[in-house]
Structure 1
Amino acid sequence: MLFTKASEYAMLSLIYISQKSSPVDVDTMSSELGISKSFLAKILQSLAREGILISFKGANGGFLLADVPENISIKKIIESAEKRKTAVFECSISHDDCPTNKGAICQIWSTFNALQIQLDDFLDTIKLSDIIKK
């Protein structure tokens, strides 16, 4: 699984926002975190669409966390930022959905699928609050 800059920037921006009591605008975050404004805006909109952030429009607009950091999993953050499920390997979650139609004879699927399940469970247990504490 590859975490891109989108995942990294999503987590950095959520940590930043978690430390504020009023909405934080993209310009301020972009400047403070050294992230491209347009890229950051796209990431924050994705996080808002997925219910991680609340978006406020207008002169005093910006973003706030939609929930407390203890309730926001890293898995949800990554999947929202990346706009895809976390994946150990580029394969389907079922033998029946194999893109090469060879799922029934695949020798590696069961091992990688077990790893995927463990990874998903692990990322669900790590919360934004765990990262903030460190």
Structure 2
Amino acid sequence: MLKIAKNAGLTDIVSTGDGTNAISTQHPITGSTVEMKLWLFNDNAAERFENINIDPSDSVSTDESTWIQLAPDNAGSAGTYISGGAALTMANISDSNVGKPFWVKITTPSVGSVQNKTDIKLTVNYRKFAV
């Protein structure tokens, strides 16, 4: 299965659906931008994945997925960020437990009071094949 980790050692794995280990950032009410590097990886040597994309989504109330920009990794730094809310295409993954880095930039606007946004998600879409 494809998973996202918050560290290069692939041990800090992002939870899927239950929010127990979510990707999180903190922003002042005046708005700010935070960048972070994440790793996509396959944890099953009997599977390979093609047509992979990572898609920011928000299906609850107002759509804030445009706050999220994704970029490929470019030798350890963020490559060119794509438009806010757009899906990032990743290369096929046929190896297991090898992190494929990508970058996330979260830009929040100024707000009137403190908010806790928990409805913005990164959805990984793919085609899975047996090896």
TM-score range, shorter chain: under 0.3
Larger helix proportion of the pair: 1
Greater RCO (CA < 8 Å, at least 6 residues apart): 2
Using structure 2 for the length normalisation, give the TM-score. 0.23
Higher strand share: 2
TM-score normalised by structure 1 residue count: 0.22
Highest Rg: 1 or 2? 1
